[in-house]
Amino acid sequence: MSEAGRQNLLKIAQVVKSNGTDGEMLISFFDIDPQDVNLKEPVFVYYDGLPVPFFFDSFEPRNSTRALVRITGITSLTDAEEIVGQGIYAEAPGSGDNAEDSLDDLIGWTVTDRNQKVLGTITDFEDIPGNLCAYIATPAETKMIPFHEDLILSVDKEAQIVVMDIPDGLL
């Protein structure tokens, strides 16, 4: 994906390696000192071409370019290994609420299940701490479902379709 396609996100770091078995990772920063990272703001990792927000659960600077971190949702060696080599992005200064802007681009997209059954249309998002949710409208009603990368099977930008694996009982 081109830098322009990343909207107003800047690559600030890269996951170098996992550390231990509980999701801890060593990350290396670009053009920013680990001490200058705002730990109250989200960072983003791209999944299926979409920026997914994460927060630092722990952050321990190692030197002027590296830090040992844990981020929300990465709780095992397997999770951490999955994003080794991935970039970590943050909002560019003065970019406003970029995560919301990125998600706003998905409003109007169709959500289907793995069998191509239409579940509804995305009408809005709500960021409940630790659980991003999407409002999905059908002709009969609107429901809120988790919009987590583990549930997203694929994204078709041309057709504007998100294929999700929604657990039984959520719809």
Given this model, what pLDDT does residue 125 score?
Answer: 86
Q: Over the stretch 89-139, which tens digit does the pLDDT of each residue have?
A: 888 665 444 444 467 788 899 999 989 999 999 999 887 776 788 899 988
Between 28 and 31, residue with greater pLDDT: 28
Q: Which domains are assigned to the chain?
A: 4-94 (2.40.30.60), 106-164 (2.30.30.240)
138's CB contacts (< 8 A; 6+ apart) are: 119, 120, 121
Given this model, what pLDDT does residue 35 score?
Answer: 80
Tokens of 17: 């390696």
Given this model, what pLDDT does residue 147 score?
Answer: 86
**Order of all β-strands in the sheet with 142-146:** 142-146, 131-137, 118-128, 110-112, 161-164, 152-156
Given this model, what pLDDT does residue 7 score?
Answer: 55
63: left (phi over 0), alpha (psi -120 to 50) or beta: beta
Distance (Å, whole) CA 55 – CA 71? 6
Q: Over the stretch 32-91, which tens digit does the pLDDT of each residue have?
A: 878 888 888 888 988 777 888 889 999 999 888 899 999 988 899 998 999 999 999 888
Given this model, what pLDDT does residue 66 score?
Answer: 92
Given this model, what pLDDT does residue 137 score?
Answer: 92
Tokens of 67: 């830090």
Position 4 pLDDT exceeds 60: no
